[in-house]
Structure formats: C-alpha cells, structure tokens
Amino acid sequence: MSRLFLGVIFLLVGWSVWAIDTGRAFEDDEMQARYVEIISEVRCVQCQNQTIKDSNVQIASDLRREIRRLLSEGKTNAQVFEFLVQRYGDFVLYRPPMSGFSLLLWIAPGLFLLIGGIVAARVISKRMTMPLDVDDDEIDQVTS
C-alpha cells in the first residue's frame, strides 16, 4: 500500500517532465545555452502568459523545433528573433523592443515624473515669492 502511495507521489512530482521535450537539444554547451536563452524569452502565442520553454501546447513545440532548426543552420540569436517577429509580431517577445507604441510605454513613467516635477517646482516657487496675505500692522502685533 505504502509503495503504491509512494509511486503516486513520484508520478505527481514528476508531472512536469512528462509534458515538454526537456532533453538537451544540442550536444554543444554554448548552443544549448543559446537555445534555452531564446526559448525563455519567446511568448507562447496560444497560452499567452507562458514562455514556449514552459508550454506544452503544440504550437510551442513547433516553435521550439523551428528555433532548433534555425540555430543548427547557424543563425544568430537576432536572426531567430527576427524570424519569429516577422511571423507573429512583437507580441512574441517577452522583452518588447523600444520602438513604436511600446516606446511610449517605456518613456511614460519618466515623462510623467518630469511633468509632475516641473509643475511642482513652478507652484512652489510661485508660492514662495507670493506676498504674505497680511498687512504690516498684523506682523507687528504678532512679533511684538
């Protein structure tokens, strides 16, 4: 009984390795490292909050296969990303490029800080040069 129980535990713990072709794709360490780096940065287009490294849907395994093919053909990382973006758009990249609409997203926080800073500086400096809304008699009264 306890053996069966142990077996079930092992099956459950090992669940994740069933799904994905986790074996090494390349003999060469450097190639394997590049492969893992790339698939960790490509979004699965069907299951949008996973990388294709973590996803077991068919399209992710197809894309992994294409990436293995491109790498073994001697393509650079940049060429592989370009291949994917041409077909699926910037959306497949977990780190979108700083261009077009996403550029706006990148610079927006700084821009808002800048606008806020300018407005705050102007308001504060205006307040500081503003004459006190009291006449001299009242000041005399307070200070005497």
Partner 1 sequence: MLKFVVPLIAFGLLVGVFIKGLDPERDLKKLPSPFLGKEAPHFDLPRLKVPNERISNQAYDGEVAIVNFWATWCVGCRQEHGFLMELSRTSDVPIYGIDWRDQREPALQWLSQLGDPYVASGFDADSVTGINWGVYGAPETFLIGKDGRVLLKHLGPLSRDAWENDFLPAIVAAEGNQP
Site residues (vs partner 1, CB under 8 A): 45-46, 48, 58-59, 62-63, 65-66, 85-89, 91
| Closest distance to partner 1 from the beta carbon of 10 (Å) | 31
* Nearer of residues 58 and 141 to partner 1, judged by Cβ: 58
| Closest distance to partner 1 from the beta carbon of 56 (Å) | 15
* Nearer of residues 34 and 52 to partner 1, judged by Cβ: 52
* Nearer of residues 49 and 143 to partner 1, judged by Cβ: 49
- CA dist 38 and 21 (Å) reads 15
Cα torsion through 44, 46, 48, 52, rounded to 10 = -20
| Closest distance to partner 1 from the beta carbon of 120 (Å) | 14
Show the CA angle centred on residue 121, arms to residues 117 and 126, nearest 5°: 155
What letter would DSSP give residue 43? B
Residues 6 or more apart from 56 whose CB is under 8 A from it? 19, 20
